[in-house]
Structure formats: C-alpha cells, structure tokens
Chain A
Amino acid sequence: MADDPLVIAGKEFGSRLVLGTGGAANMSVLERALLASGTELTTVAIRRMDAGERTGVLELLSRHGIEPLPNTAGCRSAAEAVLTAQLAREALGTSWVKLEVVADEHTLLPDPIELLDAAEQLVDDGFTVLAYTNDDPVLARKLGDAGCAAVMPLGSPIGTGLGIGNPHNIEMIVAEARVPVILDAGIGTASEAALAMELGCDAVLLATAVTRADDPPRMAEAMRLGVAAGRQARLAGRIPKRFWAQASSPAR
C-alpha cells in the first residue's frame, strides 16, 4: 500500500481518522480507544480549571505522541471563539484550532455568519484554522477562500449518529475544495466513516460513535478500518452505476 499521508497546512499525518476525546467513561477506556483508532490528531476542549484538577488528557496524548487539537466547543459568537482560540494557543502552545461556533444548544449547528467572521479573524491572527461547518458547499468555499487550512462539514448534527444526511453536498464540497475536507460529526458506525472517505473526504473526525459505544476500543478499531477501506475504494475508483445487468462471466 503506497504511503498516503493526510497533509494539513504542510503537516503530515499517517492516520486519516481524527478522534475527539469527549464522552469517554474514563481515561483508561479513552487511552485504549485512542490507541486502537491509530489517530495522530485528537481534539480537546478548553474549560475552567477546577480546584485540584490536573491536565490529565494532555499528559495522555503527549505520552502517545498524539497531537492535541483544541476546539472552541460551546462558543456561540465570533468574539467568544476568538478568545477561546487565543487561550488554547496560550495553554497548549499550538496555533492550530478546530473552530466551532454553534447557533444553539439543541441543534449544535454552526452559525455560518459568526463562523466566517471568527475564521477571518483567526486566520489574520496567524492561526491554522480547521473550521467545523454546515454541509453547505457555498459556506465551505467561503471558509476556504478565507484561508482556513481545512473545512469540516458535518454529516449530521453532533452526537446524533445519523450518518451522512446529504452525501451529494459532501461530494460538491470535495469537488470544489482546495484544502482538505474532514467529515466531522454525525458518524454512528464504521460504514458511515467508509462512506465519507468514498465520497472523497480526506479524513473523518468522530468522538461519540467511539466513546459512547458499548465497547469503545473495538469501535475505534472498526472506525480505523472503515476509514482505511473507504480511502482505498476512493483511490481505486468505483465502477459506474448501471441500470441493467452486465454479466461478469463470459457469454460462452
């Protein structure tokens, strides 16, 4: 199998699966899931430090050489997201950020106006911005034009496990993108991760599907294989769909 790294902003990753760390029952399960997934890039959130709390998740990632990707989860405005990204840069010493600006708590859908505003500000401030976006080809194009290093369209709302609701939109985003496309949110099981890659996405980001599965390490392994299978199928080039049958055995 040829070397086929994922390249974001000039940095190479051997794995095309980005794992989120949210929702794991405990650090031991999270650690085994991370290792089974083969991920090299993993999201963390930025939150108030409670008394006595230590930065356990960072130590875990650092122990296994996994890059932390801070997110701006929970931010509802461009101003909040920009401040959170700046704090993440200060805390983690990375200028990479997964930019999330959501409109409300029950859909967790990106607010496109605040998102684009925040992306422009952060790119100006020297950040490498990976933007979590709606499955809207026009918004994805504008985020790319604004200088984002990757666009991350959702398959379906965060945590729903509903899979990829609008595969054609994902294909249009891929067709126009000049930066990596990472399918983010909504993946429920391995076949959906494979589909994302077959549609042409460069990588898949998921958390809940693994961390809240009955057996997170096993699901992490399934996702690793699903992403790899989908990538190979995309590169291999699928056959066109036909209306009528076509015999695969010789006629005589």
Chain B
Amino acid sequence: MMVVVNGEHRQLPEGATLAGLLEEMDVPPSGVAVAVDGAVATRASWAATTLADGATVEVLTAVQGG
C-alpha cells in the first residue's frame, strides 16, 4: 500500500504501524510530533496506529524561525 509521508509517496506493507514507519525513518526519540490525516497522533498512540492505504503522515520538528 501507499502512504504519503512529508509530501512523498512511500510503499509500506499492509498493516504497517505508525511506530514501524517512524523507526524506519530513524526519527529521534524526542522533539518530534506526528500528524496522521490532519490530526495529532500522540506518542502514546504510535504503536497502536495502523496506517491505511492513502494515509497522509506529517513528521515535524522544531527548526530555526520566528
């Protein structure tokens, strides 16, 4: 199945979890936040969140600004 991660298409196995995706992306353990389909996915929910085909995932962090 296909999901869109930070604007780029990504092929994932059926039943892939958000936690699995983030591990594959080597996301650091703190300082990041994730939205799935436009809603915040709290850290506690990552392991239990199964991604659906066509899901939109945004992985965000703090950068210089303001």
Contact = CB atoms under 8 A, between A and B. Distances in A.
Interface of A: 20-24, 30, 43-55, 57-58, 68-71, 73, 83, 86-92, 98, 100, 207
Interface in B24-57: 25-28, 30-35, 38-40, 42-43
Nearest to B62: A44
For the complex of A and B, 10 pairs with smallest distance between CB atoms: A45-B65, A43-B66, A55-B31, A91-B33, A90-B33, A87-B33, A20-B66, A71-B66, A44-B62, A21-B64
Given A68-B62, A92-B62, A51 B40 contact: no
A45 B38 contact: no
A45 B66 contact: yes
Interface residues of B, number: 26
B33 A46 contact: yes
Nearest to A79: B38
A87 B60 contact: yes
B28 A90 contact: no
B1 interface: no
Given A86-B40, A90-B40, A22 B59 contact: no
Contacts of B38: 83
A209 B31 CA distance: 27
Contacts of A24: 64
B6 A49 contact: yes
Nearest to B35: A87
B13 interface: no
Interface of B: 6-7, 25-28, 30-35, 38-40, 42-43, 58-66
28 contacts: A21-B65, A30-B64, A43-B65, A43-B66, A44-B65, A44-B66, A45-B62, A45-B66, A46-B60, A46-B62, A48-B7, A49-B59, A49-B60, A50-B6, A55-B28, A55-B62, A57-B63, A57-B64, A73-B65, A73-B66, A83-B39, A87-B33, A87-B40, A89-B33, A90-B34, A91-B32, A92-B31, A98-B66
A70 B35 contact: no
Contacts of B33: 46, 87-91
A22 B28 contact: no
Given A55-B32, A91-B33, A20 B40 contact: no
